[in-house]
Structure 1
Amino acid sequence: MSSRIVSATSILLRWWDFALLMASAPRGLPRLLQIKLLKDLAQEAGWRHLVLLGLLSSISSLLDIAGLGLAVTLLLGSGSAAAASLPLAISLSLPASLALLVGLILLRGLMQARVAISRERLRSGFTDRLRHQLLHQVFTASSSQLDRLGRGALLALLMGDINRTTLSLDQAVRLVQALLAMVIYLASVLLIGRSAAWPLLLALLATATAALLQRSDSWGLGRIQSRLNAALQRTVGDSLHGLKAVRAAAAEAWLLERFSKETAQGRWLLKERVRRRAGYNAWRDTLVVAIAGLWMLLQGDALTAKVLTTTLVLAYRAGSSLSNVVQARRLCLGNLPGYEALCQRRQQLRPIPRLEGENTLSDRDLDRLGLAPWTALRWQVMPTASAAVTSLTLKPNRLIAITGPSGCGKTSLLDQLCGLLSEEHSAWELVCNTESWHLSGPAGAVQMHQLIGYAPQHAVLFEASLRDNLLLGGEQSRTVIETWLQRLGLSHLLLREGGLDAPMTLAQDPFSGGEIHRLGLLRAWLRDRPVEVLDEPTAFLDTAAAESVRAVIQERTQGRLVLVSTHDPQLIQQADQVITLNHSKSSPSHPSGSAAIL
């Protein structure tokens, strides 16, 4: 009998391995990719995280088992003549047993709650770490890297796929735990209840067959989920970010139709998952009962009612035990594409290796240059076919204006000077009195961001207070801010309830274009950097507001390096030097493609 059991176990394990290979591995997809992703995910989480997660899962399972065993011991042992024959039985009256049972279950519930809270804190901590790392990569990525990313894809990663990543890791731990529990359960029955070994093995065989017959293709559905998350986030982001444009074009129906198509795909995906899970459960229950029933029929009258009941219970328990392994594996694979998407975006945002000859500043020099007046700033970029200007020298006490038709490259030139475009090919020389410092490459561009006050043509407001929108983490006195707002004709913003610290809700764009533009200029001026670059500073403004901005710009040129792009004739007339660009590489003012302010 023992040799037959060992032989049957060997056959079952081989069948189980084949079933997992066929039922769960997507066609055409190497299993090595799944294994590599799980390995990388485990390494990223760290062994401490995995051990703690496994320990909490084990404690939760033990509490469940202990609760069931406790109930059986107390209820069957209390007031029963057979109490002395039950292991760990407690001879109590039924009311006393019930009272003790309620108290112990309450204690167990409190312990389970504590375990659940600790487990969720562990998972959420890992989730927050992944999100923080991704945002850091986005903030430090070069312009060429960011050009390959979409807003919807990034939002999907932050709001959906990273959650799926942590869920995949959680289910991988559950898979190991469920597999160990199944092995322990199988070994216990084989060693203790050998007469029940065959129906248990047959039930496992039936469950594995059900997994083979009802393939889940969890990986394929998980990849569809990743693409759907990105599409939905893109649509929702477009709807809210461009709400005014949608209404102005009466395009609500178009956007709603787009949203409906994507949500319909989501409903199909959910229905498909439920269908396959229900199909698997139906196959499992049918095959387990059929195989166990066939075995009982073959046994004939040799089976008593007690043996029949025990057989069915063991068979169902065996099927459920293996089902836990199957379901955990499917959930793990179904959510693992979220980590695959995260790895792909990270690859796109991977830090660029330090370029040979790339220059940066020490922290001490960076702090010093942020406060001291500069003598000159020289910038140059590697020449390209589309470059209108490849070098530029700025000096203080002079207003330099760049003008030209729309689309000639004015904004691109300002972005390059500020280290926001073509930073891999840019270099800067900073001159302060008789000393000079050199910056180049992406690392140098990051430091240039800290030394330049740049006001883009299209300012962006955030759903934060007015103070936070202007300072973005910086510090400035309330009096200074209010004085600036009054001078720029924006003092009415202080009349809102809460004033500077009132939260700004932006779904409906409550500010005019001119107000947003002036707030963007003020944000750059409040930084008080030695270099100020302003893109179309008088755009979107009425006559009075434009005149006040021109006056401020004239004042800011005293002791600073100021560069503007503009179509404003009055501002051009006010400039000490004008650089005119056109759609060709060379400009009338500087045929060589360079400009110098001497």
Structure 2
Amino acid sequence: MHDHARTTATPTAAPTVLPRRRQLQLLKALAQEAGWGHLSRLAGLSAVSSVLDIAGLGLAITLLLGNGSNANAIRELNVSLPLTASLALLVALILLRGLIQGRVAVSRERLRSGFTDRLRQQLLQQVFSASSNQLDQLGRGDLLALLMADINRTALGMDQAVRMLQALLAMVIYLASVLLVGRTAAWPLLLALMATAIAALLQRSGSWSLGRIQSRLNAALQRTVGDGLHGLKAVRAAAAEHWLLDRFAQETSKGRWLLRERVRRRAGYNAWRDTLVVAIASLWLLLQGDALTPEVLTTTLVLAYRAGSSLSGVVQARRLCLGNLPGYEALCLRREQLRPGPEQSKGMILDGPALTTLDRNRWTQLDWCSTSTCGSRTLSLRLLPNQLVAVTGPSGCGKTTLLDQISGLQEEEHSAWTITCSGERWQLSGSAGARQLHALMACAPQHAALFEASLRDNLLLGHDLPDATIASWLHRLGLQHLLDRPDGLDAPMALAQSPFSGGEIHRLGLLRAWLRDRPVDVLDEPTAFLDALAAVQVREVIQERSRQRLVLLSSHDPELLRLADVVIDLGTVASES
């Protein structure tokens, strides 16, 4: 056990509670985002659930208890319908009610999961289309927390808001039922409702503050788990398991504290409610004496209890809604960070016919220019066919940054591209133009990323090529042994242990780019991590492709630099400037 994990069990003080007006604004925005169609269906299901619950209780009271006002009618009913038949009817109707409620629950869950899926897809779309500057503001843990936890809490918050209205409707119906039984009998119900309200006031939940803590905790947990699994081999190599486990224990201890605090406050509220309701109802019984018939008394007490439970449901649903609403607040904050700014909508883009032409034909020239953020200097580069252009220089001089700028992956709002193809010239610029450029270029970063999918999916990313073509490329790059695994190209990749060497991962990243067959190849350190034979194989492919398309690469490899037609030494450029 780690002693210091216990000392950090209680989180720091919760942030100041937002004004109720702000909470209502968030709830209104959430309702608008869910859509009135979604809300109406959810409200309809809630109404059906309430009617079934109330009808079942009313049937039980009618068949088994009755009341003073309709005792004769009940007796007449019992003459024609014996008690055993009444009980059988009651059981059958309760069974039917249970089946219908099951369908209602399934439909409610389908609505909720559909809403969460829609929110997740929208967030992922924003992440994928965000600029590099926006992504620099976000952490992996924050995004994972949103996708895996906070969006679920958002949908639950909306669901609890509707449940609160459902409980209010049930409470009104129970109140009306007691008034029908007798005005005098309404007093215990009114007192019970008052007692429940007093209990809610005496035991403040702090739901919003706890919800804010939950959002921060979700991000911390996802950050810790993501770091551990993303770099599991590095964690083991550094003997950092205990450090990561301690970090995880500290976060989970905060989660246990949060859960205990919520249970404690909920139990405290229930204790106050039950104590006050029973005490006031008992006092009412003592004062009433024998003034009411047993039927009226029993019916009133049952309805009073159900009304009190309904008000309790209102209070609990409200607290759960407020506790989950910070998840939507966190989602709104991240969306605001990812929201396209004016600079992202600016830029020159191409129409459909132009994109088709550029996708299917060889380019005869690509010109790129960029004005740096400070505006102090302009960078430019020209790529021509049958030329291998290489960028070199000492580590840290900016080779990767330059390639990312040319590819529209970094500082894209300051870049412009002029493409010459089939005797015509087209221009792209800004973030909007960079998004189109990504589909026209094949980029292989220095550190390739594999996905936990099949080898086929990792290489083709949803596209289709004959197995023979893929196998031929794997043989050419010395990766034919990957086909010997069970299921070959369709074998899933379990990546927790990093089962591939650095050279294998690097060549798979290059092959992924080459199989896209784009007019331009941009390769960052293509021979890094490779042995002599693999490096020779990669150089041969690069030299061959440079005669068929535009190729730009960065490298420290002397052999590859000797093959290049144009060499740009950033170290020399920096010293001259």
CA distances 1:205-248 after superposition (whole Å, capped 9, x unpaired): 11111111110010110111111011111111111111000000
| Residue among 345, 348, 368 paired with 1:379 | 368
Alignment of 1:527 onto 2:516: yes
Counterpart secondary structure, 2:389? strand
CA distance in 1, matches of 2:334, 2:76: 58
Alignment of 1:106 onto 2:112: no
Give the CA deviation at 1:68: 3.4
Counterpart secondary structure, 1:390? strand
> Match of 2:30?
41
Q: 1:95 to 1:310 in 2, by over 3 A?
A: closer
Alignment of 1:323 onto 2:323: no
> Match of 1:16?
none
| Residue among 163, 176, 189 paired with 1:174 | 163
> Match of 2:429?
440
Alignment of 1:538 onto 2:527: yes
> Match of 1:7?
none
CA distance in 1, matches of 2:462, 2:127: 19
Alignment map for 1:64-463 (pairs within 5 Å): 64-73=53-62, 85=74, 91-93=80-82, 96-190=85-179, 192-299=181-288, 309=298, 312-353=301-342, 358-384=347-373, 390-463=379-452
Give the CA deviation at 1:101: 4.3
CA distances 1:428-487 after superposition (whole Å, capped 9, x unpaired): 001114311000111100011001100000000001110100011122111110000000
CA distances 1:16-60 after superposition (whole Å, capped 9, x unpaired): xxxxxxxxxx96521111110111111111111111001111112
**Paired AA for residue 473 in structure 2:** W
CA distances 1:570-594 after superposition (whole Å, capped 9, x unpaired): 1111111111113x9x435xx56xx
CA contact (8 A) 2:50 2:166 kept: no
Give the CA deviation at 1:296: 4.1
CA contact (8 A) 1:83 1:90 kept: no
Counterpart secondary structure, 1:430? strand
CA distance in 1, matches of 2:415, 2:164: 52
Q: 1:205 to 1:564 in 2, by over 3 A?
A: same
Structure 2, gaps ≥5 residues long: 1-14
Give the CA deviation at 1:116: 1.6
Q: 1:263 to 1:386 in 2, by over 3 A?
A: farther
CA distance in 2, matches of 1:352, 1:367: 28
CA distance in 1, matches of 2:72, 2:521: 88
**Paired AA for residue 379 in structure 1:** W
> Match of 1:17?
none
CA distances 1:332-380 after superposition (whole Å, capped 9, x unpaired): 1110111111111110111233668610011221121012111111111
Alignment of 1:53 onto 2:42: yes
CA distance in 2, matches of 1:60, 1:526: 55
CA distance in 1, matches of 2:269, 2:87: 39
CA distance in 1, matches of 2:128, 2:422: 33
Q: 1:542 to 1:216 in 2, by over 3 A?
A: same
> Match of 2:478?
489
CA distance in 2, matches of 1:306, 1:106: 26
CA contact (8 A) 2:483 2:489 kept: yes
CA distance in 2, matches of 1:287, 1:151: 48
Q: 1:114 to 1:39 in 2, by over 3 A?
A: same
Q: 1:121 to 1:87 in 2, by over 3 A?
A: farther
CA contact (8 A) 2:343 2:413 kept: no
Q: 1:357 to 1:38 in 2, by over 3 A?
A: closer
TM-score (norm 1): 0.89
Give the CA deviation at 1:545: 0.2
Percent identity over the alignment? 72
Counterpart secondary structure, 2:394? coil
Q: 1:311 to 1:84 in 2, by over 3 A?
A: closer
Give the CA deviation at 1:290: 2.4
**Paired AA for residue 493 in structure 1:** L
CA contact (8 A) 2:54 2:170 kept: no
CA distance in 1, matches of 2:16, 2:75: 53
CA distance in 1, matches of 2:37, 2:283: 48
CA distance in 2, matches of 1:75, 1:298: 26
Counterpart secondary structure, 2:553? strand
Give the CA deviation at 1:100: 4.4
CA contact (8 A) 2:390 2:555 kept: yes
CA contact (8 A) 1:388 1:409 kept: no
CA distances 1:275-307 after superposition (whole Å, capped 9, x unpaired): 000000111111222233334445567577667
CA distance in 2, matches of 1:523, 1:511: 16
Give the CA deviation at 1:181: 2.1
CA distance in 1, matches of 2:376, 2:264: 58
Q: 1:474 to 1:229 in 2, by over 3 A?
A: same
CA distance in 2, matches of 1:480, 1:266: 51
**Paired AA for residue 459 in structure 1:** A
CA distance in 2, matches of 1:311, 1:353: 64
**Paired AA for residue 187 in structure 2:** W
TM-score (norm 2): 0.92
Counterpart secondary structure, 1:221? helix
Q: 1:384 to 1:288 in 2, by over 3 A?
A: closer
Q: 1:356 to 1:69 in 2, by over 3 A?
A: closer
Alignment of 1:506 onto 2:495: yes
CA contact (8 A) 2:61 2:299 kept: no
Counterpart secondary structure, 2:500? coil
Paired residue total: 561
CA distances 1:531-556 after superposition (whole Å, capped 9, x unpaired): 10000000000000000000000000
CA distance in 2, matches of 1:48, 1:292: 42
CA distance in 1, matches of 2:92, 2:189: 36
**Paired AA for residue 283 in structure 2:** L
Give the CA deviation at 1:76: 6.8
> Match of 1:587?
574
CA distance in 2, matches of 1:573, 1:30: 67
CA contact (8 A) 1:360 1:444 kept: yes
Structure 1, gaps ≥5 residues long: 1-25, 593-598
**Paired AA for residue 587 in structure 1:** A
CA distance in 1, matches of 2:266, 2:288: 33
Q: 1:184 to 1:516 in 2, by over 3 A?
A: same
**Paired AA for residue 231 in structure 1:** A
CA contact (8 A) 2:178 2:186 kept: yes
Give the CA deviation at 1:505: 0.9
| Residue among 562, 567, 570 paired with 1:573 | 562
Q: Which moved more, 1:248-257 or 1:307-316?
A: 307-316
Q: 1:388 to 1:500 in 2, by over 3 A?
A: farther
CA contact (8 A) 1:138 1:146 kept: yes
> Match of 1:480?
469
